[in-house]
Structure 1
Amino acid sequence: MTITLAAINRYPIKGLKAQVLESARLSPQKGLIGDRLFSLARGSAGYNLPHHMSPSAMSVLDLENEERLAKLEAHYDDDTQTLQLLRSGQRRPLAQARVDTPLGRSLISQFFADFLGDSRRGLPRLIESEEALAPSDWVSLINLSSLKDIERVARQQLDPERLRANLWIEGADPWEEREWQGSRFHLGNAVLQATSPLECTASANVNPREAQRDINLPLLMRKGFMHQQVGLQLTVLEGGRIKQGDRLQPFTQ
């Protein structure tokens, strides 16, 4: 059976909707280039998040504590380091700035201050995620056939974006990916290794279309499947370009 790459998603800002890409570059040092570069934090957090400081200590915002973020998409241009913020499904940006400058980051932060409000908890600020918030050398993958089986138990359709995975594959059997632990694969010009399960978290409870919580997906997974694995984390062993339609093939020497 042929297994192909159905979609590539990257999240320039943690918690916002995905930037859908036709092709992308994977790196052993940075995983999917441009993924989860930035986060939002309330309070006195600076622009750079120190490696030794935990996300909880910085009041980092994500879908688990701020579902309104699902209303927005972040698009990032690698060449110009320009960040665009768009309302989901629209093309005209609500805000745009170069985030390699203090002024640009300040403009983006001000947009989120207006969008989210509630300054009593501190103004939201754009911070560089660095390695404290997201491992730098892996990408996440879900099997769309497995999601169909979750829909069967949930008795409702579930947008794959709930699971916030970088790569969506089609053509595999349901739950086949649970047998891939430790296996290596070719994808485009890259080589990947399945290293650990991708666990369902509370962020999946947020409907990405409505920006509202409408299900307890981790609880449903535990009751229906006796686990919360919704995909895989894969380490990038050899970097390269990937594109939609590429085959995921077992690695051979």
Structure 2
Amino acid sequence: MKHVSLLCRYPVKGLSAETLSSVSLKIGQGFPSDRRYAIANGEWVFDAAGFVPRPKTDYLALVKYERLAALSTSYSDSDEMLRVRERAGQTQQFHLGSEVDRVRFSDFMLRVFEGTPLPGRPELVGADGIRFTDVSVYSPALMNAISLINLATLRDLGRAMGAELDPLRFRANVYFDNGMPWSELEWLDREVMIGNARARIVRQTRRCAATNVNPATAQRDLGIPQALAKHFGHVFCGVYAEIASDGYVELGDEIGPL
């Protein structure tokens, strides 16, 4: 059975996943509220009007800052409220439309990373029409791409590594299982159906050190890009898709190439 197993969004780049039971996809748009915000690393000034997509290293992200994985977050679209729970159990709320709360969030990040050198003062950034996807640096269309991961591929990678891999390491939007590891890499330049939405596979996902972070422990405990290169001769795991038609996707829906 080729089915959708998990749907995730990441309202703030680098922070935790939110799981969904269903999602409406729109042509030319990304996963709703995915990577809507990011945490600039303080080394540059965000200007929404003149924004040019920047590499992930210009933000606080798991590729360099695994401590982010110790924060459990949830975001409410209706009131722009971000709730952040620390491992100790303390929860704070930040209204992301409020300049005062954005400053509070910056102060909070400085406390979270106390003792860790940062390039500057972290700043929560975001604006309508901007998504902070990793591949946004390649084209405006890819800013709105969604990411897909085949759970069969993760099982095969885990088998090669002798480890059970938490799928959330890979921070995808759509996780599916078709029982055929690596088959999604062959979908490049093809159209697929995801539920009743149509999408075009436009890029394979090059993996970086962010996947080495265990989302359960916030520890960097594996070498996934290295394992991909060693066992499979490449560093790709998953694909990016651009939405080609409006549609609705829910858990259990079928997925596959046309």
Q: Which runs of 5+ in 1 are unaligned?
A: none
Range 129-138 or range 19-28, more displaced? 129-138
Q: Does 1:52 align with 2:59?
A: no
Q: Which runs of 5+ in 2 are unaligned?
A: 137-141
User: Aligned residue pairs: how many?
Assistant: 247
Q: Which of the numbers 247, 251, 255 marks the counterpart of 1:248? A: 255
Rate the CA distance shift 1:136–1:52 in 2: closer, same or farther, 3 A: closer
Read off the aligned partner of 2:54 and give its amino acid letter: S
What is the CA RMSD across the aligned residues, in angstroms? Answer: 2.4
Read off the aligned partner of 2:99 and give its amino acid letter: P
1:146–1:174 contact (8 Å) kept in structure 2: yes
Measure how far apart 1:140 and its partner are: 0.5
Rate the CA distance shift 1:131–1:166 in 2: closer, same or farther, 3 A: closer
Read off the aligned partner of 1:98 and give its amino acid letter: H
Q: Tell me, in whole angstroms, the C-alpha distance in 2 between the residues paired with 1:120 and 1:202.
A: 19
Scaled by the length of structure 2, the TM-score of the pair is 0.86
Rate the CA distance shift 1:117–1:155 in 2: closer, same or farther, 3 A: same
Give the match for residue 99 of structure 1: 96
Read off the aligned partner of 1:116 and give its amino acid letter: F
Q: Does 1:113 align with 2:110?
A: yes
1:38–1:126 contact (8 Å) kept in structure 2: yes
Rate the CA distance shift 1:104–1:26 in 2: closer, same or farther, 3 A: farther
Q: Which of the numbers 192, 196, 200 marks the counterpart of 2:203? A: 196
Rate the CA distance shift 1:53–1:167 in 2: closer, same or farther, 3 A: closer
1:48–1:128 contact (8 Å) kept in structure 2: no
DSSP 3-state at the match of 1:31: coil
Q: Tell me, in whole angstroms, the C-alpha distance in 1 between the residues paired with 2:226 and 2:184.
A: 21
Read off the aligned partner of 1:7 and give its amino acid letter: L
Measure how far apart 1:44 and its partner are: 5.5
Give the match for residue 139 of structure 2: none
Measure how far apart 1:147 and its partner are: 0.6
Q: Which of the numbers 213, 227, 230 marks the counterpart of 2:237? A: 230
Rate the CA distance shift 1:101–1:87 in 2: closer, same or farther, 3 A: same
Give the match for residue 142 of structure 1: 149
Rate the CA distance shift 1:120–1:182 in 2: closer, same or farther, 3 A: closer
Q: Tell me, in whole angstroms, the C-alpha distance in 2 between the residues paired with 1:7 and 1:165.
A: 9
Can you list the C-alpha shifts for 1:188-240, whole angstroms capped at 9, x where unaligned?
A: 33211111111211111111111111121111101100111211111111133
Measure how far apart 1:118 and its partner are: 4.2
DSSP 3-state at the match of 2:180: coil
Scaled by the length of structure 1, the TM-score of the pair is 0.87
2:25–2:31 contact (8 Å) kept in structure 1: yes
Can you list the C-alpha shifts for 1:65-105, whole angstroms capped at 9, x where unaligned?
A: 110001113322222222221247x9x77221221221232
Identity among equivalent positions (%) equals: 30
Q: Tell me, in whole angstroms, the C-alpha distance in 2 between the residues paired with 1:160 and 1:249.
A: 19
